[in-house]
Amino acid sequence: MENGLDFILFHFDQDNRQQPLFPRKIQTSNSEGRQIEVFSKQENLLYFKESSFLDCRINAFPSYTEYKGIQRYPPDLIFIDIDRSNFKDDKSFENALSKTKKNIKEKLNDGYPTINWSGNGYHILQPIECPILEQIEQFQKYNNTNNFFVSQEFLRFAKDSLSNGKADKNNYPSFKSCQIRIPGSINGKCLYDRGKRLSGNFKVKTLQRWNGSRTSVSREFLEDFRTYLEQKVTDQENSINNFSYKYKNHSNHYSNNNRIEWIEKILLHSIEDGRKKIVNLILAPYLVVVKNLSFDESYQIINEWLQKCDLLSGRKLDFNARSFVNTAIAIAYKKQIPPMSINTLKTNYHDLYSLIVQKGKEGEARRR
């Protein structure tokens, strides 16, 4: 595990910029979806060991990437997740990997990425030389507009562009949540799969090692990205216009800093029942109306919570998460109705209220 961690840290090392590797956030099976900030490799390994090396991840970016809305760190690592479950057969799955490798080589000046096998798909890591895009003149007009940040959007554009749209749609790389699995660690989803457990195919493995060369981003690739931003701005403006009447008449003037603690606690726990109601009546309205997050950010948070519920609660999801979450967020944007209050939940959905309270008490007991 230490060798695996050293190898991943090798992708982040930026001696030429004099940037420290830590502090950086990690996740393990013990953290139950929460990110833990660590300040050294030794502290990092201690958390991994305490989790029995199960579901060990580390953020591709340090904790100091942004301050008061000002981007302070470049998008210098591209992460692409190609999940086997998104393909009808092995041939199309392998073709997606081959085409992604070809695109990286052609579009990123002979890029040669690390390719890890997670047990369920390929994780591709390509370190690059890239400036802080917010500081580049041609991108400055997009800064802090339309609920997105330029450098973060570049991570998502690169993922989709280099994979020809074949990368996992449920994965939205960002500076705060780009969690990389560690080679040698155990993938819990595979460990709980009997076939993979019996075959020993439950550990993260490195199939191809990055050659150590940070490739530069071509002018053509950046121009393609600028075109992508223009289209995104247009799409968002059209969406805002469509819902302008609703925004004027139903705005409750919440700010990004508002928090509802009992809802925040829901996101920390896996819940085995009532997940549709929680998403529709609580989480989607909370993230959209109260937190004022973008569609992509809201989707990522809810989807990660559902995946955690699917993995840890003992009861698998019985609905299409992608379609359901997209619809819930769209309705929240359209109606602009705040989330259900805790008192209304207790009165109208007492069983669900009791389950949420129970999970909260169990989480507090574990932390003690």
| Stronger pLDDT, 98 or 240, i.e. the higher one | 98
Give the pLDDT score at 42: 96
Token pair recorded at residue 311 = 């993995």
- Spell out the alpha helix ranges (H) of the chain: 2-12, 41-50, 90-107, 150-162, 188-191, 194-199, 219-242, 244-250, 261-266, 275-277, 284-285, 295-312, 321-335, 342-348, 350-367
Give the pLDDT score at 213: 93
The CATH class of 2-227 is alpha beta
Confidence of residue 364 (pLDDT cuts 50, 70, 90): low
How does pLDDT run across 289-332, given as a tens digit for each residue?
A: 999 898 888 999 998 898 888 776 556 666 778 888 988 998 89
Give the pLDDT score at 81: 96
Give the pLDDT score at 251: 39
How does pLDDT run across 144-179, given as a tens digit for each residue?
A: 555 568 998 999 999 999 999 999 987 888 898 899
Q: pLDDT > 70: what percent of the chain? A: 87
- Under 8 Å CB-to-CB from 67, ≥6 apart: which residues? none
The segment(s) of the chain belonging to CATH 3.90.920 are: 2-227
Q: pLDDT > 90: what percent of the chain? A: 48
Highest mean pLDDT among 102-111, 191-200, 270-279, 358-367: 102-111
Give the pLDDT score at 358: 83
For 62-189, list the strands marked E by DSSP: 66-67, 70-71, 77-83, 114-117, 121-129, 179-181
Amino acid at 336: Q
Confidence of residue 368 (pLDDT cuts 50, 70, 90): low
Please check whether residue 366 is in contact with residue 358, taking contact to mean a CB–CB distance below 8 angstroms.
Answer: no
Question: Which string of DSSP letters, residue by residue, matches 253-271?
Answer: ---TT---HHHHHHTTS--
- Running DSSP on this structure, what letter comes out for residue 294? -
Q: How far apart are CA 198 and CA 207, in angstroms?
A: 21
CA 9 remoteness from chain centre: 19
CA 122 remoteness from chain centre: 16
> Which residues sit opposite 80 in a β-bridge?
124
Burial 97-123 (b: 16+ CB within 10 A, else e): beebbebbeebbbebbbbbbbbbbbbb
Give the pLDDT score at 230: 84
| Stronger pLDDT, 169 or 233, i.e. the higher one | 169
Token pair recorded at residue 215 = 């490739």
Q: How far apart are CA 306 and CA 13, in angstroms?
A: 33
Token pair recorded at residue 60 = 């591709």
Give the pLDDT score at 366: 58
How much is the mean pLDDT over the chain? 85
Give the pLDDT score at 246: 40
CA 321 remoteness from chain centre: 15
Please check whether residue 168 is in contact with residue 83, taking contact to mean a CB–CB distance below 8 angstroms.
Answer: yes
Residue 25: C-alpha distances to residues 18, 293, 325 (Å): 19, 21, 26
Give the pLDDT score at 27: 95
How does pLDDT run across 53-108, given as a tens digit for each residue?
A: 999 999 999 998 887 778 889 999 999 999 999 999 999 999 999 999 999 999 99
- Spell out the alpha helix ranges (H) of 119-200: 150-162, 188-191, 194-199
| Stronger pLDDT, 196 or 187, i.e. the higher one | 187
Token pair recorded at residue 344 = 């209304």
Q: How far apart are CA 91 and CA 253, in angstroms?
A: 51
Q: How far apart are CA 251 and CA 358, in angstroms?
A: 33
Confidence of residue 257 (pLDDT cuts 50, 70, 90): low
Give the pLDDT score at 157: 94
- pTM summary value: 0.67
